[in-house]
Chain A
Amino acid sequence: MATVDRGTARRPLQWGHIRTVARTDLKQLAQARDYWIPMLILGAIFFVFVPTVLLFTITQLGNVNAVEQLSQALEILPEKAQAQIQGDTETARAGYALAVYLFAPVAVVVPITISTAVGAATIVGERERGTGEFLAHSPAGIREIFLGKLLASLLPGYLTTIVGFGIYSLIVNTIVGPDVGGWFFPTRQWWILMLWVVPPFLALTLSLVLRLSAKVQSTAAAQQASALVSLPLIMVAYSQATGSLYGGDSLGWYIGAVAWVLAVIGLWRGVKVVTRGRLLGVADEK
């Protein structure tokens, strides 16, 4: 493709441009209540509502059936994970296991779902609104525009997750903590999951979503295609996240490292797909 930023590709990245593009996109997102209110609701359901109901049912209401079923389910956990479960009673152990091991999907589903929704519209949206013309003629390099848009897509999902994670920690410690000898959450594996494993999976997903957003003709098509891409990635991320929790610290570090390498490759390839021509809506350029 002839539309390359040969000049800007050679000069160092201007972080000011990246920040400006990201900040402006986030500002627009903040103006779009119809966009961020569903995100907050999603975060609240996964991080607050569901854990509160489940943990409260098990630990405070003493639901014997639920505790028994959960205790049986815990037997399929790896021995290393079983050994780390704290608590003197069945109820305490069930609450601990639920809080530490069974909510891993929450940490993956929420950021990927939210960030995919934002990222899918980000480049094709510029083209549909005609604002891509402004960016294409601006001094911002194409890599800077791509990374700015990546940040603007990543931050809403990740920040919602971090805030949700904080609230979730509070809930878990309040409900389960008294039964297991005080505040215990987040565990070290959860810190590794949140800070080392989830971000690269999010970046990897977004690198694919932004590529799709640059290539397709409409926001609706971008959202459809992104859903197809993000669903298997959610499953992969879920299995790896769960593994990192079950398998101890070293497995978490290893999974995160592999994910970071894949994310960097994904981003490197993704940035090449975004061109000024695509911002202008001219895909068939020779």
Chain B
Amino acid sequence: MPEPEPTIVLDGVVKTFGANRALDGVSLRVPGGQITVLLGPNGAGKTTAIRMITGAFAPEAGTVRVFGLDPAEQGDEVRARCGVVSAKPALYDRLSGLDNLRYSAELYGLGRGSSVDARITEAAGRFGIDGALRDQVGGYSTGMKTRLALSRSVLHRPELLLYDEPTSGLDPESSHAVLELIREMTADGSTVVMCTHLLLEAEGLADQVVILQDGTNLVEGSPGELTRRYWPDALVRVGADDPAALDALRNHAGVVGYDRTDLIAVVRLDRSDRVPDLVVALTASGARVTRVEPHEPTLEDLYFAVRQGSGHSRLGSVVGSAV
């Protein structure tokens, strides 16, 4: 069965602003129905990438395809199928929440009337902001504005949601709630592209990660794939009453790396299913095992490994920090 077409394809895209090369040959593919997180420091090109996807900017070189369409040529069609939330909520403070959403509904072709108002209430209710719809947005808190902006982004039921640092300025509780809601949105088939520089935020949320730096994408793939690519070996931390007894593991089958401090040993295995055998062997040798802890590298580990361009050197520090 052929692989489905990616929702978004960027191929060698270049975009400059004056002397600044915001995108320098970015190529990426965003599969449908998943959450793709664009990671990178400020100025990496994440926001520019979003703006290329909606056709707000046209590429100077390379190609952009969204739903198979060229946003520079068929921008209105692409934009009608996208919901965007930018780092600033981009709401009209002098209008009520309801009027802000009505404005969006009309521009996105939903029209006006009671059925549209019902849809607005439903979208706002999904983000818990329906009770404040009649209030002027100028009086909203930052969290309320973000929730209203998220409601606006799903009002016309878009196929593609583009979120540029949607939790910017939110307290941890509100951030968590927003991320939960974003996760829920892929359940009904929407494709989500989210930009962030907060690694903890992306952890557990991303189906696919793209790491950008200086306008180029360093790497893309699912967190699992990328972790395996950078750390092909399973990693386990083992402790014992007498740490020296752990040195017997050096020659155990499947052990490809071993490092011990005064307290704990970090063992690299060719396969993670060797861990039970490891424990059995230690027990048989008379060691009293106090700790066996598989270590999964985090997205943060991956991010820094990719940015430093050397997975193994970063692994050392991962192990060091783990110990």
Chain A residues near B84 (CB, 8 Å)?
Answer: 133-134, 137
A136 to B8, CA, bound (A): 19
- Smallest beta-carbon distance B193→chain A, Å: 13
Contact of A4 among B58, B92, B93, B99 (CB under 8 A): B58
CB of B86 within 8 Å of the partner chain: yes
A141 to B76, CA, bound (A): 7
Number of A-B contacts (CB under 8 A): 105
Find the residue from B88, B152, B162 having the highest chain A CB count within 10 A. Answer: B88
A139 to B80, CA, bound (A): 5
Closest B residue to A136 using CB positions:
B56
If A7-B73, A7-B75 touch, does A137 touch B54 (CB 8 Å cutoff)? Answer: yes
Docked-complex contact A27 and B77, CB < 8 angstroms: no
Chain A residues near B16 (CB, 8 Å)?
Answer: 286
Docked-complex contact A24 and B92, CB < 8 angstroms: yes
Chain A residues near B249 (CB, 8 Å)?
Answer: none
A276 to B18, CA, bound (A): 17
Docked-complex contact B95 and A8, CB < 8 angstroms: no
Chain A residues near B152 (CB, 8 Å)?
Answer: 134
Contact of A130 among B80, B86, B106, B108 (CB under 8 A): B86
CB of B260 within 8 Å of the partner chain: no
CB of B107 within 8 Å of the partner chain: yes
Docked-complex contact A137 and B94, CB < 8 angstroms: no
A136 to B53, CA, bound (A): 12
CB of A138 within 8 Å of the partner chain: yes
Contact of A286 among B56, B60, B95, B136 (CB under 8 A): B60
CB of B51 within 8 Å of the partner chain: yes
Chain B residues near A32 (CB, 8 Å)?
Answer: 94
Chain A residues near B55 (CB, 8 Å)?
Answer: 7, 276
CB of A282 within 8 Å of the partner chain: yes
Docked-complex contact A138 and B79, CB < 8 angstroms: yes
Contact of B76 among A3, A4, A139, A280 (CB under 8 A): A139
A3 to B93, CA, bound (A): 28
A285 to B54, CA, bound (A): 16
Closest A residue to B84 using CB positions:
A137
A31 to B99, CA, bound (A): 12
Closest B residue to A282 using CB positions:
B17
CB of A52 within 8 Å of the partner chain: no
If A7-B72, A20-B107, A276-B57 touch, does A139 touch B79 (CB 8 Å cutoff)? Answer: yes
Docked-complex contact A27 and B86, CB < 8 angstroms: no
CB of A11 within 8 Å of the partner chain: yes
Chain B residues near A27 (CB, 8 Å)?
Answer: 95, 99
Q: How large is the interface on B (under 10, 10 to 19, 20 to 34, 35 or more residues)?
A: 35 or more
Docked-complex contact B107 and A138, CB < 8 angstroms: yes
| Residues of B92-138 whose CB lies within 8 A of A | 92-95, 99, 103-104, 106-109, 136
A16 to B18, CA, bound (A): 36
- Smallest beta-carbon distance A242→chain B, Å: 39
A27 to B136, CA, bound (A): 12
Closest B residue to A21 using CB positions:
B107
Chain A residues near B88 (CB, 8 Å)?
Answer: 130, 133
If A7-B73, A24-B103 touch, does A137 touch B17 (CB 8 Å cutoff)? Answer: no
Docked-complex contact B56 and A277, CB < 8 angstroms: yes
Docked-complex contact A7 and B74, CB < 8 angstroms: yes
A140 to B106, CA, bound (A): 10
| Residues of B216-243 whose CB lies within 8 A of A | none
- Smallest beta-carbon distance B308→chain A, Å: 31
Docked-complex contact B91 and A131, CB < 8 angstroms: yes
If A131-B90, A284-B18 touch, does A7 touch B58 (CB 8 Å cutoff)? Answer: no
Find the residue from A17, A32, A133, A286 having the highest chain B CB count within 10 A. Answer: A133
CB of A53 within 8 Å of the partner chain: no
Docked-complex contact B17 and A284, CB < 8 angstroms: yes
Contact of B94 among A6, A31, A140 (CB under 8 A): A31
Docked-complex contact A138 and B17, CB < 8 angstroms: no
| Residues of A10-33 whose CB lies within 8 A of B | 11, 16-17, 20-21, 24, 27-28, 31-32
CB of A5 within 8 Å of the partner chain: yes
CB of A129 within 8 Å of the partner chain: yes
CB of A2 within 8 Å of the partner chain: yes
- Smallest beta-carbon distance A274→chain B, Å: 13
Chain B residues near A140 (CB, 8 Å)?
Answer: 107
Docked-complex contact A6 and B72, CB < 8 angstroms: yes
Chain A residues near B59 (CB, 8 Å)?
Answer: 2
Chain A residues near B109 (CB, 8 Å)?
Answer: 139
Q: Closest 9 CB pairs between A and B?
A: A130-B88, A134-B90, A137-B84, A139-B80, A20-B106, A31-B94, A276-B56, A133-B90, A133-B86
A interface, CB within 8 angstroms of B: 2-8, 11, 16-17, 20-21, 24, 27-28, 31-32, 129-134, 136-141, 276-277, 280, 282, 284-286
Q: List, sorted by A's number, 21 A–B pairs whose CB atoms are closer than 8 Å.
A: A4-B58, A5-B75, A7-B55, A7-B72, A11-B76, A21-B107, A24-B92, A31-B136, A130-B90, A133-B90, A134-B91, A134-B104, A137-B51, A137-B82, A137-B86, A139-B79, A139-B109, A282-B57, A284-B18, A286-B16, A286-B60
Further pairs besides A8-B75, A137-B56, A286-B60: 10, Cβ < 8 Å: A6-B72, A7-B73, A7-B76, A16-B106, A20-B106, A27-B95, A31-B136, A130-B90, A133-B84, A139-B107
